[in-house]
Amino acid sequence: MSYYSLTSIPDYYGIDALLTEEHKLIRQSVRDWVESFVMPQIDHAAQNHTDIPNLMKELGQIGALGPYIPVEYGGSGLDQISYGLIMQELERGDSAVRSAASVQSSLVMFPINEFGSEEQKRKYLPKLAAGEMIGSFGLTEPNHGSDPGSMETHFKDMEDHYLLNGAKMWITNSPLCDIAVVWAKNEEGKVQGLIVERGMEGFTTPETHNKWSLRASKTGELVFNDVKVPKENLLPGVTGLKGPLSCLNSARYGISWGVIGAAIDCYCTAVQYSKERKQFGKPIGSYQLQQKKLAEFLTEITKAQLLCLQLGNLKNDHKATPAQISMAKRNNVNMAIEIARESRQILGGMGIMGEFPMMRHAANLESVITYEGTHDVHLLITGLDITGINAF
Ligand SMILES: Cc1cc2nc3c(=O)[nH]c(=O)nc-3n(C[C@H](O)[C@H](O)[C@H](O)COP(=O)(O)OP(=O)(O)OC[C@H]3O[C@@H](n4cnc5c(N)ncnc54)[C@H](O)[C@@H]3O)c2cc1C
Protein backbone atom coordinates (compact mmCIF):
# COMPACT_ATOMS: atom_id res chain seq x y z
CA MET A 1 0.00 0.00 0.00
CA SER A 2 1.21 3.47 -0.79
CA TYR A 3 1.97 5.77 2.14
CA TYR A 4 -0.22 8.51 0.65
CA SER A 5 -3.83 8.51 -0.52
CA LEU A 6 -4.20 7.71 -4.21
CA THR A 7 -6.59 10.67 -4.47
CA SER A 8 -3.55 12.93 -3.96
CA ILE A 9 -2.01 11.85 -7.28
CA PRO A 10 -1.73 15.18 -9.12
CA ASP A 11 -3.66 16.33 -12.17
CA TYR A 12 -2.94 20.01 -11.71
CA TYR A 13 -3.94 21.11 -15.20
CA GLY A 14 -7.06 18.96 -15.48
CA ILE A 15 -5.48 16.65 -18.02
CA ASP A 16 -8.02 13.97 -17.15
CA ALA A 17 -10.56 15.94 -19.14
CA LEU A 18 -8.49 15.22 -22.23
CA LEU A 19 -8.52 11.47 -21.63
CA THR A 20 -11.28 9.10 -22.69
CA GLU A 21 -13.26 6.99 -20.23
CA GLU A 22 -11.36 3.98 -21.54
CA HIS A 23 -8.02 5.65 -20.77
CA LYS A 24 -9.12 6.36 -17.22
CA LEU A 25 -10.43 2.83 -16.69
CA ILE A 26 -7.19 1.29 -17.94
CA ARG A 27 -5.16 3.60 -15.71
CA GLN A 28 -7.29 2.77 -12.69
CA SER A 29 -7.08 -0.97 -13.22
CA VAL A 30 -3.27 -0.90 -13.52
CA ARG A 31 -3.06 1.45 -10.52
CA ASP A 32 -5.12 -0.98 -8.45
CA TRP A 33 -2.94 -3.89 -9.53
CA VAL A 34 0.24 -1.98 -8.62
CA GLU A 35 -1.21 -1.26 -5.18
CA SER A 36 -2.16 -4.85 -4.50
CA PHE A 37 0.62 -6.78 -6.27
CA VAL A 38 3.71 -4.58 -6.59
CA MET A 39 3.71 -2.28 -3.56
CA PRO A 40 3.63 -5.03 -0.90
CA GLN A 41 6.70 -6.82 -2.27
CA ILE A 42 8.79 -4.31 -4.19
CA ASP A 43 11.03 -3.20 -1.34
CA HIS A 44 11.82 -6.82 -0.43
CA ALA A 45 12.61 -7.68 -4.06
CA ALA A 46 14.84 -4.63 -4.52
CA GLN A 47 16.65 -5.04 -1.18
CA ASN A 48 17.31 -8.71 -1.90
CA HIS A 49 18.09 -8.28 -5.59
CA THR A 50 15.50 -10.85 -6.62
CA ASP A 51 12.95 -10.69 -9.37
CA ILE A 52 9.25 -10.53 -8.53
CA PRO A 53 7.75 -14.05 -8.76
CA ASN A 54 5.23 -14.53 -11.54
CA LEU A 55 5.64 -10.92 -12.69
CA MET A 56 5.36 -11.54 -16.42
CA LYS A 57 2.22 -13.67 -16.16
CA GLU A 58 0.63 -11.05 -13.92
CA LEU A 59 1.55 -8.32 -16.42
CA GLY A 60 0.03 -10.45 -19.16
CA GLN A 61 -3.17 -10.89 -17.21
CA ILE A 62 -3.65 -7.14 -16.75
CA GLY A 63 -3.00 -6.51 -20.46
CA ALA A 64 0.29 -4.65 -19.92
CA LEU A 65 2.28 -6.68 -22.46
CA GLY A 66 1.92 -5.36 -25.99
CA PRO A 67 -1.19 -3.27 -25.29
CA TYR A 68 -1.08 -1.74 -28.79
CA ILE A 69 -0.44 -5.07 -30.56
CA PRO A 70 -3.50 -6.16 -32.60
CA VAL A 71 -6.03 -8.35 -30.82
CA GLU A 72 -5.59 -11.15 -33.38
CA TYR A 73 -2.03 -11.65 -32.11
CA GLY A 74 -2.97 -11.55 -28.44
CA GLY A 75 -2.55 -7.80 -27.81
CA SER A 76 -5.28 -5.41 -26.75
CA GLY A 77 -5.26 -3.11 -29.80
CA LEU A 78 -5.09 -0.02 -27.59
CA ASP A 79 -3.86 3.42 -28.56
CA GLN A 80 -0.56 4.99 -27.61
CA ILE A 81 -1.95 7.09 -24.77
CA SER A 82 -3.27 3.92 -23.13
CA TYR A 83 0.19 2.40 -23.50
CA GLY A 84 1.72 5.50 -21.91
CA LEU A 85 -0.70 5.50 -18.99
CA ILE A 86 0.02 1.82 -18.33
CA MET A 87 3.75 2.56 -18.26
CA GLN A 88 3.18 5.50 -15.89
CA GLU A 89 1.25 3.36 -13.44
CA LEU A 90 3.76 0.49 -13.57
CA GLU A 91 6.69 2.80 -12.87
CA ARG A 92 4.90 4.39 -9.92
CA GLY A 93 5.43 0.89 -8.53
CA ASP A 94 9.01 0.45 -9.75
CA SER A 95 11.13 1.04 -12.85
CA ALA A 96 11.92 -2.70 -12.87
CA VAL A 97 8.24 -3.50 -13.41
CA ARG A 98 7.91 -0.92 -16.16
CA SER A 99 11.17 -2.12 -17.75
CA ALA A 100 9.84 -5.68 -17.89
CA ALA A 101 6.70 -4.49 -19.67
CA SER A 102 8.62 -2.06 -21.91
CA VAL A 103 11.11 -4.62 -23.13
CA GLN A 104 8.48 -7.26 -23.77
CA SER A 105 6.11 -4.80 -25.50
CA SER A 106 8.32 -2.39 -27.41
CA LEU A 107 11.55 -4.28 -27.91
CA VAL A 108 10.32 -7.83 -28.49
CA MET A 109 6.64 -7.79 -29.54
CA PHE A 110 6.93 -4.56 -31.54
CA PRO A 111 9.68 -5.80 -33.92
CA ILE A 112 8.00 -9.18 -34.36
CA ASN A 113 4.72 -7.43 -35.15
CA GLU A 114 6.32 -4.83 -37.46
CA PHE A 115 9.01 -6.86 -39.18
CA GLY A 116 8.11 -10.49 -38.53
CA SER A 117 6.59 -13.06 -40.88
CA GLU A 118 3.00 -14.18 -40.36
CA GLU A 119 4.31 -17.46 -38.93
CA GLN A 120 6.57 -15.63 -36.46
CA LYS A 121 3.70 -13.40 -35.33
CA ARG A 122 1.41 -16.37 -34.71
CA LYS A 123 4.12 -18.41 -33.03
CA TYR A 124 5.44 -15.81 -30.59
CA LEU A 125 3.09 -12.85 -30.05
CA PRO A 126 0.18 -14.52 -28.21
CA LYS A 127 2.53 -16.22 -25.73
CA LEU A 128 4.50 -13.02 -25.22
CA ALA A 129 1.25 -11.08 -24.66
CA ALA A 130 0.15 -13.59 -22.03
CA GLY A 131 3.53 -13.52 -20.27
CA GLU A 132 3.87 -17.26 -20.89
CA MET A 133 7.02 -16.50 -22.84
CA ILE A 134 9.64 -13.93 -21.79
CA GLY A 135 11.57 -11.99 -24.42
CA SER A 136 14.75 -9.97 -24.33
CA PHE A 137 16.31 -7.50 -26.78
CA GLY A 138 19.96 -7.68 -27.71
CA LEU A 139 21.47 -4.56 -29.19
CA THR A 140 24.17 -3.28 -26.77
CA GLU A 141 27.56 -4.99 -26.79
CA PRO A 142 30.54 -4.85 -24.45
CA ASN A 143 32.39 -2.51 -26.84
CA HIS A 144 29.43 -0.71 -28.43
CA GLY A 145 26.70 1.01 -26.41
CA SER A 146 25.79 4.48 -27.70
CA ASP A 147 27.22 3.48 -31.08
CA PRO A 148 25.33 0.29 -31.98
CA GLY A 149 26.14 0.70 -35.68
CA SER A 150 29.66 -0.55 -34.87
CA MET A 151 28.35 -3.82 -33.43
CA GLU A 152 30.50 -6.92 -33.86
CA THR A 153 27.89 -9.66 -33.43
CA HIS A 154 27.44 -11.24 -36.86
CA PHE A 155 25.95 -14.19 -38.69
CA LYS A 156 26.84 -16.22 -41.75
CA ASP A 157 24.52 -17.85 -44.21
CA MET A 158 25.26 -21.59 -44.06
CA GLU A 159 22.59 -22.48 -46.67
CA ASP A 160 20.26 -24.41 -44.35
CA HIS A 161 20.75 -22.18 -41.27
CA TYR A 162 22.51 -19.03 -40.04
CA LEU A 163 25.60 -19.27 -37.82
CA LEU A 164 25.56 -16.57 -35.13
CA ASN A 165 28.57 -15.39 -33.13
CA GLY A 166 29.11 -12.51 -30.71
CA ALA A 167 27.90 -11.18 -27.38
CA LYS A 168 25.40 -8.66 -26.06
CA MET A 169 25.66 -6.96 -22.68
CA TRP A 170 23.32 -5.21 -20.23
CA ILE A 171 20.32 -7.14 -21.46
CA THR A 172 17.13 -6.79 -19.41
CA ASN A 173 15.63 -10.17 -18.54
CA SER A 174 18.36 -12.12 -20.35
CA PRO A 175 18.70 -14.69 -17.53
CA LEU A 176 14.94 -15.35 -17.66
CA CYS A 177 14.24 -15.09 -21.36
CA ASP A 178 12.78 -17.81 -23.54
CA ILE A 179 13.62 -15.88 -26.72
CA ALA A 180 15.86 -12.97 -27.63
CA VAL A 181 15.42 -10.57 -30.53
CA VAL A 182 19.06 -10.13 -31.50
CA TRP A 183 20.45 -7.49 -33.85
CA ALA A 184 23.50 -8.69 -35.74
CA LYS A 185 25.38 -7.97 -38.95
CA ASN A 186 25.01 -10.15 -42.01
CA GLU A 187 27.91 -10.92 -44.34
CA GLU A 188 27.40 -7.59 -46.12
CA GLY A 189 27.74 -5.76 -42.79
CA LYS A 190 24.03 -4.86 -42.70
CA VAL A 191 22.09 -5.13 -39.43
CA GLN A 192 19.25 -7.66 -39.29
CA GLY A 193 17.12 -9.14 -36.51
CA LEU A 194 17.13 -12.81 -35.51
CA ILE A 195 14.90 -14.58 -33.01
CA VAL A 196 17.16 -16.77 -30.88
CA GLU A 197 15.50 -19.36 -28.65
CA ARG A 198 16.70 -20.69 -25.31
CA GLY A 199 17.98 -24.20 -25.80
CA MET A 200 19.77 -23.48 -29.08
CA GLU A 201 23.25 -24.93 -28.72
CA GLY A 202 25.93 -22.33 -28.01
CA PHE A 203 23.47 -19.74 -26.64
CA THR A 204 24.00 -18.73 -22.99
CA THR A 205 22.62 -15.92 -20.82
CA PRO A 206 24.90 -15.23 -17.82
CA GLU A 207 23.48 -12.91 -15.19
CA THR A 208 25.09 -9.58 -14.28
CA HIS A 209 25.39 -9.36 -10.49
CA ASN A 210 25.93 -6.57 -7.94
CA LYS A 211 23.80 -3.82 -9.51
CA TRP A 212 22.85 -0.88 -7.29
CA SER A 213 20.01 -0.01 -9.67
CA LEU A 214 16.93 -1.86 -10.99
CA ARG A 215 17.57 -4.50 -8.35
CA ALA A 216 14.12 -6.06 -8.85
CA SER A 217 14.97 -6.72 -12.49
CA LYS A 218 17.33 -9.33 -13.92
CA THR A 219 20.07 -8.09 -16.24
CA GLY A 220 22.61 -10.19 -18.07
CA GLU A 221 24.46 -11.05 -21.24
CA LEU A 222 23.50 -12.91 -24.39
CA VAL A 223 26.43 -14.97 -25.63
CA PHE A 224 26.44 -16.64 -29.03
CA ASN A 225 29.05 -19.25 -29.74
CA ASP A 226 28.43 -20.79 -33.17
CA VAL A 227 24.66 -20.76 -32.62
CA LYS A 228 22.74 -22.40 -35.46
CA VAL A 229 19.68 -20.21 -36.00
CA PRO A 230 16.98 -21.62 -38.31
CA LYS A 231 16.40 -19.51 -41.40
CA GLU A 232 12.77 -18.96 -40.51
CA ASN A 233 13.92 -17.05 -37.39
CA LEU A 234 15.24 -14.07 -39.39
CA LEU A 235 12.94 -11.02 -39.20
CA PRO A 236 12.24 -10.57 -42.91
CA GLY A 237 10.78 -7.06 -42.85
CA VAL A 238 13.76 -4.82 -42.08
CA THR A 239 17.43 -4.35 -42.85
CA GLY A 240 19.64 -1.71 -41.28
CA LEU A 241 19.78 0.16 -38.00
CA LYS A 242 16.28 1.52 -38.54
CA GLY A 243 15.04 -1.87 -37.25
CA PRO A 244 16.39 -1.59 -33.71
CA LEU A 245 16.02 2.20 -33.68
CA SER A 246 12.29 1.99 -34.40
CA CYS A 247 11.95 -0.38 -31.41
CA LEU A 248 13.84 2.10 -29.27
CA ASN A 249 11.51 4.90 -30.36
CA SER A 250 8.56 2.94 -29.07
CA ALA A 251 10.31 2.05 -25.80
CA ARG A 252 11.61 5.60 -25.24
CA TYR A 253 8.10 6.92 -25.67
CA GLY A 254 6.91 4.51 -22.96
CA ILE A 255 9.77 5.56 -20.68
CA SER A 256 8.76 9.22 -21.06
CA TRP A 257 5.41 8.34 -19.52
CA GLY A 258 6.74 5.74 -17.11
CA VAL A 259 9.09 8.02 -15.23
CA ILE A 260 6.21 10.39 -14.46
CA GLY A 261 4.91 7.54 -12.31
CA ALA A 262 8.19 7.33 -10.37
CA ALA A 263 8.13 11.11 -9.90
CA ILE A 264 4.51 11.00 -8.70
CA ASP A 265 5.34 8.31 -6.14
CA CYS A 266 8.15 10.48 -4.72
CA TYR A 267 6.14 13.71 -4.87
CA CYS A 268 3.05 12.30 -3.15
CA THR A 269 5.19 10.68 -0.46
CA ALA A 270 7.02 13.96 0.16
CA VAL A 271 3.81 16.01 0.37
CA GLN A 272 2.30 13.60 2.89
CA TYR A 273 5.45 13.43 4.98
CA SER A 274 5.91 17.21 4.99
CA LYS A 275 2.46 17.62 6.52
CA GLU A 276 3.02 14.97 9.21
CA ARG A 277 6.59 15.58 10.28
CA LYS A 278 7.02 18.42 12.78
CA GLN A 279 10.24 20.24 13.59
CA PHE A 280 10.58 23.45 15.60
CA GLY A 281 6.95 22.94 16.57
CA LYS A 282 5.54 23.11 13.07
CA PRO A 283 5.08 20.73 10.11
CA ILE A 284 8.13 20.90 7.85
CA GLY A 285 5.68 21.56 4.99
CA SER A 286 4.99 24.96 6.54
CA TYR A 287 8.54 26.15 5.80
CA GLN A 288 9.17 28.02 2.58
CA LEU A 289 12.25 25.99 1.70
CA GLN A 290 10.24 22.77 1.66
CA GLN A 291 7.28 24.39 -0.12
CA LYS A 292 9.63 25.61 -2.85
CA LYS A 293 10.71 22.03 -3.48
CA LEU A 294 7.14 20.73 -3.55
CA ALA A 295 6.00 23.56 -5.84
CA GLU A 296 8.82 22.85 -8.25
CA PHE A 297 8.09 19.11 -8.23
CA LEU A 298 4.46 19.71 -9.13
CA THR A 299 5.40 22.18 -11.85
CA GLU A 300 7.82 19.72 -13.43
CA ILE A 301 5.40 16.78 -13.19
CA THR A 302 2.66 18.86 -14.81
CA LYS A 303 4.94 19.93 -17.68
CA ALA A 304 6.00 16.31 -18.20
CA GLN A 305 2.37 15.15 -18.26
CA LEU A 306 1.49 17.72 -20.93
CA LEU A 307 4.54 16.82 -23.00
CA CYS A 308 3.58 13.14 -22.94
CA LEU A 309 -0.05 13.70 -23.73
CA GLN A 310 0.74 15.70 -26.86
CA LEU A 311 3.48 13.24 -27.83
CA GLY A 312 0.89 10.48 -27.47
CA ASN A 313 -1.47 12.36 -29.77
CA LEU A 314 1.31 12.72 -32.33
CA LYS A 315 2.19 9.04 -31.96
CA ASN A 316 -1.43 8.02 -32.45
CA ASP A 317 -1.36 10.01 -35.71
CA HIS A 318 2.02 8.44 -36.69
CA LYS A 319 3.54 11.91 -36.63
CA ALA A 320 5.90 11.73 -33.64
CA THR A 321 9.49 12.15 -34.80
CA PRO A 322 12.41 10.33 -33.18
CA ALA A 323 13.79 13.72 -32.10
CA GLN A 324 10.51 14.64 -30.38
CA ILE A 325 10.63 11.32 -28.52
CA SER A 326 14.26 11.95 -27.54
CA MET A 327 13.32 15.32 -26.08
CA ALA A 328 10.56 13.78 -23.96
CA LYS A 329 12.70 10.86 -22.77
CA ARG A 330 15.56 13.14 -21.79
CA ASN A 331 13.44 15.80 -20.14
CA ASN A 332 11.18 13.46 -18.22
CA VAL A 333 13.84 11.08 -16.92
CA ASN A 334 15.87 14.04 -15.71
CA MET A 335 12.75 15.52 -14.12
CA ALA A 336 12.07 12.24 -12.28
CA ILE A 337 15.60 11.66 -11.04
CA GLU A 338 15.82 15.23 -9.72
CA ILE A 339 12.50 14.80 -7.90
CA ALA A 340 13.61 11.46 -6.45
CA ARG A 341 16.84 12.98 -5.13
CA GLU A 342 15.33 16.20 -3.79
CA SER A 343 12.24 14.56 -2.30
CA ARG A 344 14.49 12.16 -0.40
CA GLN A 345 15.92 15.16 1.41
CA ILE A 346 12.45 16.23 2.51
CA LEU A 347 12.24 12.98 4.47
CA GLY A 348 15.58 13.58 6.17
CA GLY A 349 17.04 10.34 7.55
CA MET A 350 13.80 8.46 6.91
CA GLY A 351 14.35 9.13 3.20
CA ILE A 352 17.10 6.54 3.04
CA MET A 353 14.86 3.78 4.37
CA GLY A 354 13.09 1.07 2.39
CA GLU A 355 9.69 1.98 3.84
CA PHE A 356 9.81 5.00 1.57
CA PRO A 357 10.40 4.77 -2.18
CA MET A 358 12.82 7.62 -2.91
CA MET A 359 16.20 5.86 -2.72
CA ARG A 360 14.86 2.95 -4.77
CA HIS A 361 13.45 5.24 -7.46
CA ALA A 362 16.58 7.43 -7.50
CA ALA A 363 18.82 4.38 -7.89
CA ASN A 364 16.56 2.88 -10.57
CA LEU A 365 16.48 6.10 -12.53
CA GLU A 366 20.29 6.02 -12.79
CA SER A 367 19.74 3.13 -15.21
CA VAL A 368 16.77 4.72 -16.91
CA ILE A 369 18.75 7.90 -17.61
CA THR A 370 21.42 5.71 -19.27
CA TYR A 371 19.53 3.02 -21.15
CA GLU A 372 17.55 3.53 -24.35
CA GLY A 373 19.95 6.32 -25.27
CA THR A 374 21.87 8.23 -22.62
CA HIS A 375 20.94 11.70 -21.39
CA ASP A 376 23.82 13.13 -23.44
CA VAL A 377 22.99 11.18 -26.57
CA HIS A 378 19.39 12.49 -26.57
CA LEU A 379 20.75 16.03 -26.28
CA LEU A 380 22.91 15.39 -29.35
CA ILE A 381 19.81 14.14 -31.21
CA THR A 382 18.02 17.41 -30.40
CA GLY A 383 21.12 19.38 -31.41
CA LEU A 384 21.23 17.54 -34.72
CA ASP A 385 17.53 18.23 -35.27
CA ILE A 386 18.05 21.95 -34.64
CA THR A 387 21.21 22.49 -36.66
CA GLY A 388 21.31 19.64 -39.13
CA ILE A 389 24.88 19.06 -37.93
CA ASN A 390 25.84 15.69 -36.48
CA ALA A 391 27.86 16.25 -33.29
CA PHE A 392 28.25 12.58 -32.38
C1 LIG B 1 20.00 -1.84 -16.28
C2 LIG B 1 20.22 -1.74 -17.76
C3 LIG B 1 19.42 -2.44 -18.63
C4 LIG B 1 19.66 -2.40 -20.00
N5 LIG B 1 18.87 -3.14 -20.85
C6 LIG B 1 19.24 -3.25 -22.18
C7 LIG B 1 18.56 -4.15 -23.04
O8 LIG B 1 17.60 -4.81 -22.63
N9 LIG B 1 19.00 -4.29 -24.31
C10 LIG B 1 20.07 -3.57 -24.79
O11 LIG B 1 20.43 -3.76 -25.97
N12 LIG B 1 20.71 -2.68 -24.00
C13 LIG B 1 20.34 -2.52 -22.71
N14 LIG B 1 21.01 -1.64 -21.87
C15 LIG B 1 22.19 -0.96 -22.39
C16 LIG B 1 22.03 0.54 -22.53
O17 LIG B 1 21.17 0.85 -23.59
C18 LIG B 1 23.45 1.14 -22.67
O19 LIG B 1 24.04 1.07 -21.39
C20 LIG B 1 23.41 2.56 -23.20
O21 LIG B 1 23.03 2.60 -24.55
C22 LIG B 1 24.78 3.25 -23.07
O23 LIG B 1 25.79 2.45 -23.58
P24 LIG B 1 27.11 2.20 -22.70
O25 LIG B 1 26.69 1.78 -21.33
O26 LIG B 1 27.99 1.32 -23.46
O27 LIG B 1 27.75 3.63 -22.54
P28 LIG B 1 28.73 4.39 -23.62
O29 LIG B 1 28.10 4.37 -24.97
O30 LIG B 1 30.11 3.85 -23.48
O31 LIG B 1 28.66 5.86 -23.06
C32 LIG B 1 29.42 6.29 -21.93
C33 LIG B 1 29.25 7.81 -21.79
O34 LIG B 1 29.76 8.46 -22.96
C35 LIG B 1 28.77 9.32 -23.50
N36 LIG B 1 28.89 9.37 -24.96
C37 LIG B 1 28.87 8.34 -25.83
N38 LIG B 1 29.02 8.78 -27.09
C39 LIG B 1 29.13 10.13 -27.02
C40 LIG B 1 29.29 11.18 -27.98
N41 LIG B 1 29.35 10.93 -29.30
N42 LIG B 1 29.37 12.44 -27.55
C43 LIG B 1 29.29 12.72 -26.22
N44 LIG B 1 29.15 11.78 -25.27
C45 LIG B 1 29.06 10.51 -25.67
C46 LIG B 1 27.45 8.75 -23.07
O47 LIG B 1 26.42 9.73 -23.03
C48 LIG B 1 27.77 8.23 -21.66
O49 LIG B 1 27.67 9.28 -20.74
C50 LIG B 1 20.73 -1.62 -20.50
C51 LIG B 1 21.52 -0.87 -19.61
C52 LIG B 1 21.27 -0.93 -18.26
C53 LIG B 1 22.15 -0.14 -17.34
Alpha carbon distance 294, 196 (integer Å): 47
Pocket lining: 205 vs ligand 1, CB cutoff 6 Å: no
Pocket lining: 163 vs ligand 1, CB cutoff 6 Å: no
Beta strands in 8-132 (DSSP E): none
Alpha carbon distance 141, 222 (integer Å): 9
Ligand 1 atom closest to the Cα of residue 140 is 11
Q: What is the DSSP string of 269-321?
A: HHHHHHHH-EETTEEGGGSHHHHHHHHHHHHHHHHHHHHHHHHHHHHHTT---
Pocket lining: 145 vs ligand 1, CB cutoff 6 Å: yes
Alpha carbon distance 318, 274 (integer Å): 43
Tell which residue, 347, 264, 248, 292, has the closest CA to residue 6. 264
Delineate the domains of the chain, giving CATH numbers in brackets: 6-130 (1.10.540.10), 135-233 (2.40.110.10), 242-387 (1.20.140.10)
Q: Phi-psi bin for 125: left (phi > 0), alpha (psi -120 to 50), beta?
A: alpha
Helices 322-346, 358-368: crossing angle, 10 deg rounding: 150
Per-residue pLDDT of the chain (392 residues; tens, 9 = 90+): 899 999 999 999 999 999 999 999 999 999 999 999 999 999 999 999 998 999 999 999 999 999 999 999 999 999 999 999 999 999 999 999 999 999 999 999 999 999 999 999 999 999 999 999 999 999 999 999 999 999 999 999 999 999 999 999 999 999 999 999 999 999 999 999 999 999 999 999 999 999 999 999 999 999 999 999 999 999 999 999 999 999 999 999 999 999 999 999 999 999 999 999 999 999 999 999 999 999 999 999 999 999 999 999 999 999 999 999 999 999 999 999 999 999 999 999 999 999 999 999 999 999 999 999 999 999 999 999 999 999 99
Pocket lining: 139 vs ligand 1, CB cutoff 6 Å: yes
Alpha carbon distance 68, 379 (integer Å): 28
Tell me the best of 173, 371, 372 to mutate to test the pocket of ligand 1, counting ligand atoms within 8 Å of each CB and taking the most.
371
Ligand 1 atom closest to the Cα of residue 144 is 26
